[in-house]
Amino acid sequence: MGRLIVISNRVSVPSAAGAAGAQGGLAVALNSALRQQGGIWFGWSGQETAEFTGHLDMQRNADVTTATIDLEPQDVEEYYNGYANRTLWPLFHYRIDLTEYDRNFGEGYERVNERFADAVFPLIESEDLVWVHDYHLLPLGSMLRARGIGNRMGLFLHTPWPPTRLLTSLPFHERLVASMLEYDVIGLQTTEWLESFLHYVQKEMGLKVNLDNSIEYNGRRVVARAFPIGIDYAEFQEAACGDVAREACQRLKASVRGRKILIGVDRLDYSKGLGERFESFSRFLADHPEMAGNAVLLQIAPPSRGDVASYQQIREDLERKTGHINGAHADVDFVPIRYVNRGYPRAELAGFYRAAEIGLVTPLRDGMNLVAKEYVAAQDPDDPGVLILSQFAGSALQLKDALLVNPHSVEHVAETIKRALDMPLAERKRRHARLLESVREQDVLHWLEQFVQVLANNERDAGMPPHDQAA
């Protein structure tokens, strides 16, 4: 099998101390795949430069080679803050009310994808497998094809895929999707998003979809498939059982003095349903006065995408809401919502999850949601907490033994909180055992192997010509 060329908007450079440091599961998994198979991780450095030069900063850390470029401020504004995060992100999360269509964003997006293509092109050798990640880089594959790259190329989309009727509100939607069909493999998180994608190519583009869900396009066969991403189970388990996690768990438990803990951990993003979650908790406190004073919601929400107005807005809204709810329910020695805007090392986070009787994961729309899986992995199997999970998270299709809720229904979530707190130990253990099995078996390494196997064309249909010989 050839080397792996991983391309994503940002690159997570492994620390000299080892890959497992403060990185997320995806970065850890991609780093370990790159170490095993050899290859390069290419993307934006996160730095700005006055004038784009295309200069590649090549580094080798912990046996992984990374190559990064700097972008101009205008690129960052139009491509990253603009088309990626003000157009595609809200649209792909069904928020056309927040979706902005600006011609400059579209031009910036194409320009930066061309810049990525120019910069990564010389790094790609003939046998390499090219794996592109996420909505920032949808047309990159077609731009590499235009430069003569005949290699196997795959795309994995970490977000949902929107229904056709929403997607058609995007100017030039067909051009964008057609550019995606230059990849050999298109991976989505769940069968739901896969169905939406296939619906679009059939209804809007009139393409033929085969029984195995591959798409016939310009004499080629494009494989579209669901690959649900998982967590690095082994790494997370180890972190959850270590001293740092134990201390974090004890510290949190001691601070609530016997009260029940509900935990939420999310990037501060409108897709995560934080406002609705706070309202639901408030409703629960109002409906169960006997519990008022006995349950605490710890919401950890590090700010993200702070340059985008809708993110500034959600931050303000949540601060107001927290103040309002705490004002109504707090006592001299008790505050019901602890709202914390910072990140924590993964081991500490694991300890917080373990301390909580309820994991409250209620996004309004989410490609997968790894927090739900981390919460399950961090529990004590002999006395596990209960996962309350939105039916609109991709992970709900796998984690069927969670208590599934409609996050828009404040009443439903409030009732479910009560049900979770009352759940007998035997039922908690039974549900947790099944959830744990799914989280353990479908971990990030499984996801990675599945994708790379299809990308490497170990399943190629003998009847179709390889891409570089196709018309």
Which residues contact ligand ADQ by CB under 6 A?
24-26, 158-159, 229, 265, 267, 300, 302, 343-344, 349, 366-371, 374
- How far lies 185's CA from each of 15, 156, 238, 394, 468, in Å? 31, 8, 33, 20, 15
**CB-based contacts of 75, cutoff 8 Å, min separation 6:** 52, 108, 111, 112, 115
Least CB distance to ligand ADQ at residue 258 (A): 25
Alpha-carbon distance 77 to 105, whole Å? 8
Q: Which of 19, 21, 69, 62 is nearest to 44 (CA)?
A: 69
Nearer to ligand ADQ, 214 or 369 (CB): 369
Nearer to ligand ADQ, 280 or 390 (CB): 390
Least CB distance to ligand ADQ at residue 78 (A): 22
Least CB distance to ligand ADQ at residue 113 (A): 20
Say whether 93 is catalytic.
no
Report H helices in 38-160: 73-75, 89-92, 103-120, 140-146
Nearer to ligand ADQ, 285 or 300 (CB): 300
48 — alpha (psi -120 to 50), left (phi > 0) or beta? beta
Nearer to ligand ADQ, 265 or 455 (CB): 265
Least CB distance to ligand ADQ at residue 211 (A): 28
CA-CA-CA-CA dihedral for 155, 156, 160, 165, to nearest 10: 10
Nearer to ligand ADQ, 82 or 230 (CB): 230
Say whether 158 is catalytic.
yes
Least CB distance to ligand ADQ at residue 332 (A): 29
Q: Which of 277, 152, 160, 286 is nearest to 221 (CA)?
A: 152
Alpha-carbon distance 161 to 166, whole Å? 10
Catalytic-role residue among 93, 133, 136, 158? 158
Q: Parallel, antiparallel, or unpaired for β 295-300 and 260-265?
A: parallel
379 — alpha (psi -120 to 50), left (phi > 0) or beta? beta
Nearer to ligand ADQ, 13 or 368 (CB): 368
Contact 363, 336 (CB under 8 A): no
Taking the CB of residue 411, how many other CB atoms lie within 10 A of it? 12
CA-CA-CA-CA dihedral for 38, 13, 152, 1, to nearest 10: 20
Least CB distance to ligand ADQ at residue 1 (A): 23
User: Which residues are the active-site residues?
Assistant: 158, 366
